[in-house]
A and B are shown apart, each in its own frame.
Chain A
Amino acid sequence: MKLTKSFNRSLWVFHLNTGSCNGCEIEIVATITPHYDPERFGIKLVGSPKHADVLLVTGPVTKMMAPKVRRVYEQVPDPKLVMCIGSCGQSGGVFYDSYNLDGPIDQVIPVDVYVPGCPPRPEAIIYGVVKAWEKLERLEAAQ
């Protein structure tokens, strides 16, 4: 599957909660409010992973969620991008060392961009998208 400029300018996002405390969800919803208006860059939330280009994963991946996370990841059509939002997805966060974790996220599915924070501010999430664009442009130049 080819990466194009149109792909960068029309990222449709599917949000997946793998056991997060909902703090990151609130910040993600804050990111799509009119104040930040990511639709300026063609970013919008979609309801089905089949429509998505970006998988926005939050939470530390509990044991029950791990197979579902893999399944949703496989359902997103190529080319795709995974963004890990929040400290939980990177290290387990406050749930570090819990008996009930299969995570962090990069143990389950490949991650492209990490956005740290507990929870990350909307500005941080938008900066994460910019980082994703930079990565996409690098990949585009390489292909």
Chain B
Amino acid sequence: MLTDLIGTLAGAVLVGVFGILVALFLMGVDRIVTARMQARIGPPLSQPLTDLRKLFSKENVVPANAIPWLFNMAPVVALASAITILLYIPVGGFPPVLSDGGDLILVMYLLTLPALALVVGGFSSGSPYATVGAQREMVTMIAYEFPLAVVIIAIAWKLAVSGIPLPFLLASVQANPVWGLVGPLGIIGVLILFFVLIIVTPAELSRIPFDTPEAETELAGGVLVEYSGKNLALFTLTQGVKTVVMASLVVALFIPYRLSALLPAPVIMQPVLDLLSYLVLVVLVAFVAVSLIRVSMARFRINQVVSMYWMYISIIGIAGMILIMVDHILGVV
């Protein structure tokens, strides 16, 4: 019992450190790739780390009409909850640390926590810009939640009807790639769901084109407008860790493949191969979902974000789900 607890704690610390390192790496890659796509040279890979170190060395300003304890607590809660999600998701090719404690439903609920912390921080800043930003963040959150739920439920349903026990458990999703369970019609359905999750990712991370809550040019930084120094650093880090979370979730749901299964390798080398394949897949997903979309699009208005997710993306997602269901019924008949 006690050794279990110590093991879990050690795992949590390891995953936390690993998550932050991968987050810094992804942020650096994102900035370089973005720069190259804009015909620039771009900052060095270590730029996010430099930014964080600078922010930690700066003064932490708490505005006069803010609520100080909420204002200072929000970034800590945001980062802590982002790292907590990592404990439930397979990271680095290893099974999740808290694998027997939670499943996809829990991950879906936990995904709202960093955003909620951001909203609380925004409202407690006592600035009109931050208030508008926080309201937009809430609206965005409500908007993308439904397509996200459609994707997760469709996949879990397919696993359930294929006779896999505990279909919501991430370990079983990872062990049974959904592509292998469906027929040709279902493949199209899964592709559509994959697309939907990729579109949900930038909104989850509030990146362009869905960065309406932060909108530097119109809201002067939105929810983050009053944050500086250490608190801003924690929020920046949260953003990075959330990128890792979403990329890992996409990898676990749709591309749960590992090199060690394909290549015959000695047992000692297998974790290294798994880690390598995980990193490559995560960078690929982050490249498509964050960098590519960010460079090629401008910002949506908040009403466009809502109508896009509630109407178009939801309909597309439900169509994907229906295709998988039809495929299953045809396959059974």
Contacts and interface: CB of A to CB of B under 8 A. Distances in A.
B57 interface: yes
Interface stretch (B109-117, B158-166, B213-221, B246-254): B213-221
B38 A34 contact: yes
Contact of A37 (B41, B220, B227, B232): B41
A37 B36 CA distance: 11
Contact of A39 (B42, B60, B225, B232): B42
Given A1-B59, A2-B57, A47-B217, A39 B43 contact: yes
Given A47-B219, A50-B226, A9 B50 contact: yes
Given A47-B217, A50-B227, A53-B54, A75 B61 contact: yes
Nearest to B218: A47
Contacts of B51: 6, 10, 42
A78 interface: yes
Contacts of B59: 1, 77-79
A67 to B, nearest CB: 17
Among A6, A40, A79, the one with the most B-chain Cβ atoms within 10 Å of its Cβ is A6
A7 interface: yes
B39 interface: yes
B72 interface: no
A48 B50 contact: no
A51 interface: yes
A1 B58 contact: yes
B45 interface: no
B310 to A, nearest CB: 28
Contacts of B217: 47
Nearest to A74: B61
B270 interface: no
Given A50-B61, A75-B61, A10 B228 contact: no
A47 B228 CA distance: 12
A77 B229 CA distance: 8
B301 interface: no
B34 to A, nearest CB: 9
Contacts of B39: 34
Contact of A10 (B41, B50, B219): B50
Given A34-B40, A39-B42, A40-B41, A48 B221 contact: yes
By secondary structure, the B interface counts as: loop
B224 interface: yes
A42 B47 contact: yes
A116 to B, nearest CB: 28
A42 B50 contact: yes
A42 B44 CA distance: 8
A37 B57 contact: no
A48 B43 contact: no
A50 B224 CA distance: 9
B139 interface: no
B54 A51 contact: no
A1 B232 CA distance: 16
Interface in B195-234: 216-217, 219-221, 224-229, 232
A46 interface: yes
Contact of B35 (A37, A47, A50, A53): A37
A47 B220 contact: yes
Contact of A7 (B43, B54, B61, B228): B54
20 contacts: A1-B59, A6-B51, A7-B57, A10-B51, A34-B38, A34-B39, A39-B40, A39-B43, A42-B51, A46-B221, A47-B220, A47-B225, A48-B216, A48-B225, A50-B221, A50-B225, A51-B227, A53-B58, A75-B61, A77-B228
Given A40-B40, A46-B216, A50-B232, 14 more contacts: A1-B57, A2-B57, A6-B54, A7-B57, A10-B54, A39-B42, A42-B43, A47-B216, A47-B225, A50-B227, A51-B221, A77-B59, A77-B60, A77-B228
Q: Which 10 A-B pairs have the closest CB atoms?
A: A47-B216, A77-B59, A6-B53, A48-B221, A47-B220, A50-B228, A37-B40, A10-B54, A78-B59, A6-B54
